[in-house]
Structure 1
Amino acid sequence: MAFENYTIKDIARALNLSPSTVSRALRDSYEISTETKQIVLAYAEKINYRANPIARSLKERKSYSIGIIVSEIANNFFSQVIDGIESVAYSKNYQVVISQTHESAERERLNVEHLYSRSTDGLLMALSAETSDCSYLESLMDKGFPIVFFDRVPAQIRSHKVIADNKQGGYDAVNYLSKKGCKKIAHVTGAKKLSITKERLEGYKMGLLAHNLDFNPALVKYCEYGGLHQDELEKVVMELRDQDYDGIFISGDKLTTGYLQAMNEQDSHKLDHIAIAGFTNSKVVNIFSPTITAIRQPAFDMGQRAAELLIQQIESKQADTDFQTVVLPTTLIERK
């Protein structure tokens, strides 16, 4: 059965209105009265009218699509951020196109170039672990291409950024571990160059200082790919074996699960004697063994806020120079 393709002109002709009035009514414009909107929407529903996105994009020179670039969609945190982005994008009639970098700077650049060449209206990005050169992103922004960064953000680029309060989250984790009696707290974290690594490490140091605990660089272990490769965590567990630590602050979802797996394989008898706190947005953290006190990020809210800032930028008639850095609070969830 073929579907009839009704147009705005067909609706206008049937209701004896101008096409521009119908168009504005369908977009819920303030210029059109409530009564006229109700008439237009009722008729559009009756004939099962669907807007033609191709015609709309050609007319307005917009694709009504936004790109999302993350390291890994399967990561609990990023999947929740994407849910938040989609909730805003779809309410504004934008489609989303999602790409993964798997922590590769080269793949990240290819994804950006592909989305830009496909006339995507803007990008939402969390930088890969390998990324150090952001000059090509600055070049695109200088051309008027909107980019909003979230979670892993570049310090050198002036743009909208949405992050969690990583420093406070790190402090809260160490504060919790210290109050549980831990005297020697290790820290497992991601790539040194990432903003989240630097901020969480700073919070870790603040927590140690607040409880008069010494900072020992040998207790800080970096995983340059954020636990994407399990051998990173196996190496960390081996290196920490002789440190006799009694608490550990872990800086991400993959790192947490990877650490537990490596410990179960190498030093399972020690797990009952180590208190664990870390950043994780896993929905099943309560079944982890041993129990983990979670530092949760407001991932959904982060996605919503980033999408709102991007769409505002896309739809603004003037270049945005008043950039915001939005900092959202973290939450410590204690497990008994």
Structure 2
Amino acid sequence: LIFRPNVLARGLVKKKTNTIGVVIPDVIYPFFTEVIHGIETLANESDHKIILCYSGSKQEKEAEYVNMLLEQRVEGIIIAPLADNRNIKIFKRLIQDGFPLVFVDRRLDEVNGSYVVTDNAKGAYKAVRHLVKLGHKRILLLTTGTKISTVQSYLEGYKKALAKGNLSYRESLIKRCEETEAGENRLFLGYNIMKSFLLKKPHFTAVFATDDNFAVGAIKAVKEKELRVPEDIAVVGFDDLPFSSFVDPPLTSVMQQKYEMGEKAVKTLIEIVKKDDVQLRKILLEPKLVIRQSCGGGARIK
């Protein structure tokens, strides 16, 4: 990606466009649907329009869309950056040149920028701590294989909850779903990895899946082995997607403030634009554990 000085230099943009660029990796996953809803609602209320770009989890498309948005003279960009990102230099350059940029849902450790994300470490801690309190000592972590901030945070919270319960961390109980394509059916990913893992007759009594789709897929695999949820294996998911309460049994899940995440991303971006400063805004949203029947507890929110 080649930057054009007249595009990046904010001082040359004399006329406000009232337009915000949004770049996300996945339009199929319900999580981003709610985030986008929050972005668009507040943008409209603030007399702004959005240009929505879908990178398809491809680095090249992400870079192309960022450049296109700059050429469209957007006032700022909200982006959910990809894992193992090769566009880090682009983001650093944008921030260095004072261009308003806000990361949403995930951040990049190598880039010191503004972001609005869930406190995923705390969410993972709440989920695993709940399972530990229910008496589970060997808890399988079902997550993705990407090296993105969210995944690292899940692992941090998982380890902290185990340590709190005086339980040992075992690498053998970490199973990673490798996503090869954007929008690949995560239900099947969770199902397939759990099915293959159950063939090994592993010793675990609970599963913490960092995605509700992984969790639902895992439940199907467990049932096919004629095991019961939660009596034989308890399951907890993450995101609290709309279908989670309709699963059999209803899925315990960590609720993210998805709509609010989108709203706060817009508020943060507009604040940066109006104040025309480089002060970083780092916002962590509080997760809540919604307890349903998949882990053996009655329905309630913690």
TM-score scaled by length of structure 2: 0.83
User: What displacement does 1:306 show?
Assistant: 1.0
Q: Which residue of 2 aligns with 1:251?
A: 210
1:287–1:105 CA distance, 2 compared to 1 (3 A) = same
| One-letter identity of the residue aligned with 1:310 | L
Partners in 1 of 2:161 and 2:268 — Cα distance? 33
1:128–1:254 CA distance, 2 compared to 1 (3 A) = farther
For residues 242-262 of structure 1, give each alpha carbon's deviation from its aligned partner in whole angstroms, at most 9, with x where no partner exists: 222110111123433443455
Note the 1:94-243 alignment, pairs <5 A.
Answer: 94-225=48-179, 228-230=184-186, 232-233=189-190, 234-242=192-200, 243=202
Which of the two has higher C-alpha Rg? Answer: 1
* Comparing 135-144 and 268-277, the one that deviates more: 268-277
User: What displacement does 1:167 show?
Assistant: 1.0
SS at match of 2:215: helix
Give unpaired runs (5+ residues) of structure 1.
1-58
Partners in 2 of 1:146 and 1:92 — Cα distance? 16
Contact residue 86 and residue 96 of structure 1 kept, 8 A? yes
Partners in 1 of 2:216 and 2:58 — Cα distance? 21
Partners in 2 of 1:198 and 1:113 — Cα distance? 29
1:123–1:222 CA distance, 2 compared to 1 (3 A) = same
Q: Which residue of 2 aligns with 1:303?
A: 262
1:258–1:116 CA distance, 2 compared to 1 (3 A) = farther
Q: Which residue of 1 aligns with 2:273?
A: 314
Q: Pairwise CA RMSD of aligned residues? A: 2.4
User: What displacement does 1:187 show?
Assistant: 0.4
Q: Which residue of 1 aligns with 2:241?
A: 282
User: What displacement does 1:270 show?
Assistant: 5.3
Q: Which residue of 2 aligns with 1:73?
A: 27
Q: Which residue of 1 aligns with 2:291?
A: 334
Which structure's residues are more often strand, by fraction?
2
The partner residue of 2:227 within 269, 279, 288 is: 269
1:291–1:138 CA distance, 2 compared to 1 (3 A) = same
Contact residue 104 and residue 131 of structure 1 kept, 8 A? no
Partners in 1 of 2:219 and 2:63 — Cα distance? 33
User: What displacement does 1:128 show?
Assistant: 1.9
Partners in 2 of 1:132 and 1:196 — Cα distance? 18
Contact residue 237 and residue 252 of structure 2 kept, 8 A? yes
Contact residue 253 and residue 291 of structure 2 kept, 8 A? yes
* Comparing 68-77 and 295-304, the one that deviates more: 68-77
For residues 8-31 of structure 1, give each alpha carbon's deviation from its aligned partner in whole angstroms, at most 9, with x where no partner exists: xxxxxxxxxxxxxxxxxxxxxxxx
Contact residue 19 and residue 48 of structure 2 kept, 8 A? yes
Give unpaired runs (5+ residues) of structure 2.
1-12, 294-302
1:267–1:326 CA distance, 2 compared to 1 (3 A) = same
Number of aligned residue pairs: 276
